Structure 1
Amino acid sequence: MRSRFAHAAALAVGLLSALGGLKPAMADGSGSATLDAIRARGQLLCGMAGTVPGFSLPDSQGVMKGLDADSCRAVTAAVLGDVSKTKFVVTTTQNRFTALQSGEVDMLSRSTTWTLGREANLGLMFAWVNYYDGTGFLVKKSLSVKSAKELDGATVCVQPGTSTELAINDYFRINKMKFTPILIADLAEIQSAFLSGRCDAYSTDASALATFRFSQGPKADDLVLLPDIISKEPLGVMVRKGDDKWFDVIRWTFVALLTAEEKGITQANVDSFMNSNDPEVRRLLGLEGDLGKALGLDNKWAYNVIKAVGNFGEIWDRNITPMGVPRGINNLWTKGGLQYPPPMR
């Protein structure tokens, strides 16, 4: 028995020697199948809505603008160093998860709420929250409604298959109220239905309601965003489970955006920080340490991100502030908000 075992061991050692030793999976790559695929095609595929002002909507030149769009560009800058290599793939509330599961997109940045059911059932997970939101209601001023609790018996326009649909069902049930849902999948159609009087209220994330109201121009005063926020809606960026290194890249790209804001590093002044004596700044910008290498990236990955899109505050001011939405709980923790970046070390 011992002789056979020793013989087998000797054969194994010889085979290892002949092969140069076994290598872990993807040892010659980044450690991430997704990241290696992105590099091979030279393009990052980002799933988004493409219809929401402030989050993802093409401008008059066809350039995708918004918080979700810039979230994708930040990741592209980290992994490819060139935001022009971001390809935006428009998805719907019905096919967004399938698009990510099937590999049609590398990441989903689509104002999607982080929930247990989605993370436990879909084979997907949330890497970071880029907007803390909540479900709200928009009504016409002519309805003379001041609170959501006055909506008993109302018709409510809502997109099917969304966390909003679940939230308003819970809210009316808890408050022993009744309502009739008007389920419409297409965003433009649901907004048109609300404006035409087909429903008494329009419900979705309060941020989306605020930007929609803002988009009505002079007629915005005819619409009232009720003060009630009836649910927690942390909106985040999703990736597929099973590729931990890609998850790390997404998460720490957002941490880099927040850390840059915390340190006062902007798109315009980042080069002036290349002589900083602050150890965390030096690690962030790749001046010392190997944080980039740990992620499978160049050590200047975060510098590239900041140089391309600015810090998180700049992204917010560029896309959300013009919509008239206050930053509130989306502020840095140093300003009373929930955005708290872990240390860069």
Structure 2
Amino acid sequence: MKQFLTALALGASAVFASGAAQAATLDQVKQKGFVQCGVSTGLPGFSNPDEKGEWTGLDVDLCRAVAAAIFDDPAKVRFTPLTAKDRFTALQSGEIDVLSRNSTWTSSRDATQGLNFTATNYYDGQGFLVRKELGVKSAMELNGASVCTQSGTTTELNVADFFRTNNLQYEVVAFQGQEETLKAYESGRCEVFTSDQSQLYALRLKLANKDDHIVLPELISKEPLATAVRQGDDQWFDVVKWVHYAMLNAEEAGVTSKNVQEMLNSPNPDIRRMLGVEGNFGEQLGLTKDWVARIVSKVGNYGEAFDRNVGAGSPLQIERGKNALWTKGGLQYGPPIR
């Protein structure tokens, strides 16, 4: 019995030590001086390097917002481009601190990948890209089509479910990488390219004759694209999650990168708590009182980030739709900071 209790105590100590080691991401980030962010290998509007190697996009801005909250400097972030196959392994191994890479939040990923999804940065759904010359107006007209997709993704599973449910025949042509899949579609190896609809609009811009292709109207799945962190670190989970919620709350309150300084004088108690004039809500997260003001002044609120990357101020021209605030009929909803 004594040996059993000793072994039990040692085991508990090991678990505690492991948990303590895992729960140090924020401290590690502060010590090294930057956030290591996993992104896509290049998806316009979400995470894409320009000709100078500078990363831009909605997913990129989330990482820059985390850096702004911690360091008051959105430039203190480094980006690791990852394929769909490598993205979760990179997070599990500690190669990156946060994964902000158009990844769908699913039950199996939540339960088996050793990670936690924080918040949905973009509500999406899977769709189809086809050549106009096919004369197809609906996904229900795709019987017998050859479909290019990326292997190892929910996309591959969803397209199988769609054709099976609707008793339609199809031929799948799967590839490892996104660029490889797009090139196969453009070269005519398949008639249809399927992916998240946001990706289809972005990748369509890369085609030589983009106006020869259309995105069909149907969505065949729910694709909540969310950031993720490793399991076992509640503080870091809270920081990343609340950075997104802070950007939503700022938009809802009308706090923008242009007026954030004057909003510090607002009599509105919600705004005063949000911007750190009252309370210690940032300090509860391990940040500073002015963490939201840092985010908004350096990166903007969620609406500003959406518009410049994928919305009206971008080449993609995607409407807010489900990504509008809840007050405007959308699904984006930030819990209160209080």
The two structures have a TM-score, normalised by structure 1, of 0.89
Distance 1:333 1:293, change over 3 A: same
Report the Cα distance in structure 2 between the residues aligned to 1:327 and 1:216, rounded to whole angstroms. Answer: 24
Distance 1:32 1:270, change over 3 A: farther
Alignment correspondent of 2:31: 40
Alignment correspondent of 1:136: 127
| Shift >3 Å, 4+ stretches | 214-217
Report the Cα distance in structure 2 between the residues aligned to 1:329 and 1:264, rounded to whole angstroms. Answer: 19
Structure 2 residue corresponding to 1:304, chosen from 294, 298, 319: 294
Distance 1:67 1:122, change over 3 A: same
Q: Secondary structure at the match of 2:264?
A: helix
Q: Deviations over 1:114-134 (max 9, x none)?
A: 000100111111101010000
- Is residue 276–residue 290 contact of structure 2 (8 Å, CA) maintained in 1? yes
Structure 2 residue corresponding to 1:175, chosen from 166, 182, 193: 166
Structure 2 residue corresponding to 1:205, chosen from 166, 177, 196: 196
The answer as to 2:93 corresponding to 1:105 is no
| Residue pairs, 1:191-202, within 5 angstroms | 191-202=182-193
Per-residue deviation at 1:163?
Answer: 0.8
Distance 1:134 1:305, change over 3 A: same
Per-residue deviation at 1:25?
Answer: 8.3
Alignment correspondent of 2:337: 344
Q: Secondary structure at the match of 2:36?
A: strand
Alignment correspondent of 2:58: 67
Q: Deviations over 1:170-229 (max 9, x none)?
A: 111111112111111222221111111100100000011012223447x22210111110
- Is residue 186–residue 207 contact of structure 2 (8 Å, CA) maintained in 1? no
Alignment correspondent of 2:149: 158
Aligned sequence identity (%): 49
Alignment correspondent of 1:221: 211
Alignment correspondent of 2:283: 293
The two structures have a TM-score, normalised by structure 2, of 0.91
Alignment correspondent of 1:272: 262
Report the Cα distance in structure 2 between the residues aligned to 1:296 and 1:71, rounded to whole angstroms. Answer: 18
- The amino acid that maps onto 1:34 is T
Structure 1 residue corresponding to 2:246, chosen from 251, 256, 272: 256
Q: For structure 1, which runs of at least 5 residues remain unmatched after alignment? A: 1-23
Q: Secondary structure at the match of 1:111?
A: coil
The answer as to 2:224 corresponding to 1:239 is no
Per-residue deviation at 1:146?
Answer: 1.2
Report the Cα distance in structure 1 between the residues aligned to 2:261 and 2:17, rounded to whole angstroms. Answer: 37
- Is residue 152–residue 178 contact of structure 1 (8 Å, CA) maintained in 2? yes
| Residue pairs, 1:12-51, within 5 angstroms | 32-51=23-42
Aligned length: 319
- Is residue 214–residue 324 contact of structure 1 (8 Å, CA) maintained in 2? no
Report the Cα distance in structure 1 between the residues aligned to 2:300 and 2:288, rounded to whole angstroms. Answer: 18
Report the Cα distance in structure 2 between the residues aligned to 1:25 and 1:182, rounded to whole angstroms. Answer: 47
Q: Secondary structure at the match of 1:83?
A: coil
Per-residue deviation at 1:51?
Answer: 0.6
- The amino acid that maps onto 2:193 is Y
Per-residue deviation at 1:156?
Answer: 0.6
The answer as to 2:317 corresponding to 1:327 is no
Report the Cα distance in structure 2 between the residues aligned to 1:50 and 1:330, rounded to whole angstroms. Answer: 24
- Is residue 50–residue 64 contact of structure 1 (8 Å, CA) maintained in 2? no
Report the Cα distance in structure 2 between the residues aligned to 1:40 and 1:294, rounded to whole angstroms. Answer: 19
Per-residue deviation at 1:235?
Answer: 0.3
Per-residue deviation at 1:32?
Answer: 4.2
Per-residue deviation at 1:145?
Answer: 1.1
Alignment correspondent of 2:3: none
- The amino acid that maps onto 1:304 is R
- Is residue 41–residue 83 contact of structure 2 (8 Å, CA) maintained in 1? no
Q: Secondary structure at the match of 1:247?
A: helix
Alignment correspondent of 1:7: none
Structure 2 residue corresponding to 1:91, chosen from 76, 82, 85: 82
Report the Cα distance in structure 2 between the residues aligned to 1:216 and 1:187, rounded to whole angstroms. Answer: 13
Per-residue deviation at 1:139?
Answer: 0.5
